[in-house]
Structure 1
């Protein structure tokens, strides 16, 4: 018997919600925010053919759909609590739904996040998720809070996910080991929630790298009314073959590619020792990649401190 909307929700998306007063199954969910905490709320939509390839493994798609939203909470220093899911499906394929739900809830369980509601309908495959988290008043890592003289930091290497996209479009051929690493970075990003929460009250400003390193750091700099000065030689590099790292395609991906979901953040010079401890504690290669200074835009400096030409600066949904 074909699945209808209600049996689909019951079978694949209804489960225990220990952090929620009332979850899936009613007209509204009921949540109880922690007293004296602010709510951080974000939403993102993924459209087949625009944000993911039609042949992506559904389990990976379930994981990534939630990961890209949790990354926004990480960038604000918030603790993830709840999310809603709106799922538009061309058909109710039980094998696909099972895999998608498995990936979605694997990441939700890893971070203690409850699915509390949403909607399903028929149409081109589209996934919209809204996430809700909590952050103490005055502790959110806002993009507009950077200060002149701040160090700029990055939580991990960029570029590998964009290389995977180029390979899937047939524009690049990767060796087997490189291909596996890049595909993992594209399909199973890790939202840096623990880092974001640890930076709340320590860093000044933050942003997640979703549309490209230069583009997103440019957003942070613009909102803070400052210039970002990046030292090219200090940018972290992914564990890829030396031949690939030497190609122009890697530089373009490292600076302009998206889908990395690492955190870039600014912090005072006095926080360097604490950030070094954080790197060890969380097992992340936190790298100091530049500074914020008076001015505007993004400047990329070579090893001699001279400005370099900037490549394409990032993903645009309407280009």
Structure 2
């Protein structure tokens, strides 16, 4: 190929790219006599670029106006309240914003070998100079209080064991054949290694004699375990003794139990831990004689080594169909 056709090809390409790039180009043609060609800038390109820049700015400004309008419309919309437990559906519970003696309905405290009712309770229930039942700062929220229950070896006994428990027998009986929810959050700061079994939540039966609880949530060998029973005053049938998995320390654990007490056989109990169903039972639940009541706290079945727990709740409410996360969220606000 001669130098002149090559020169022409290079020149045409340079003219094209100069127009597109909106810049002047100096072209030196290799192999040709030394010469420089200056390609003039296309005067239409800067005007088109300015128009494009103005269009982009207008679109950005309009987008901001639309976003602001949407935000204003959203602010005017009525807020939909998160479903929660209605006051009329609350049977009883523990309100940590109130002093021990201000709990209503009347609550029973069992600690240091004595039974107290809430109306006569001191600021804290002590044993040997240290608190067994008291209100303390929530480890996850310094603006609120929670209930602390503790038990130590050598504490005076009640009914054969040095228990530290809340007794709701005076607060009201869970109605039979009625869908209910027991919801609480529990915090184990530590759990001392022990072979002793501790009951932490129970459904007892007043007037049934010295029978084991119809429901017992307990810690045994570092695991949550669940017992369910039914029967008469002369016969106990334990239908569940389930392993619910390992315990966890240093954080709040959410428990939700949906249940219906029915000695006749239409009962059920669903136990949820941290939003996950850990166990489900359907069948007879409770005893044919007497009145059920709730207990919560520390009850060692064997030789105690000393433990402490924190509680949000418990609360007993009618089951109106709220989801487990909604129930847990409600308890977290109490």
- TM-score w.r.t. the length of structure 1 is 0.22
Higher relative contact order, structure no. (Cα contacts within 8 Å, ≥ 6 residues apart): 1
Comparing both structures, which one devotes a greater share of its residues to helix? Answer: 1
- TM-score w.r.t. the length of structure 2 is 0.22
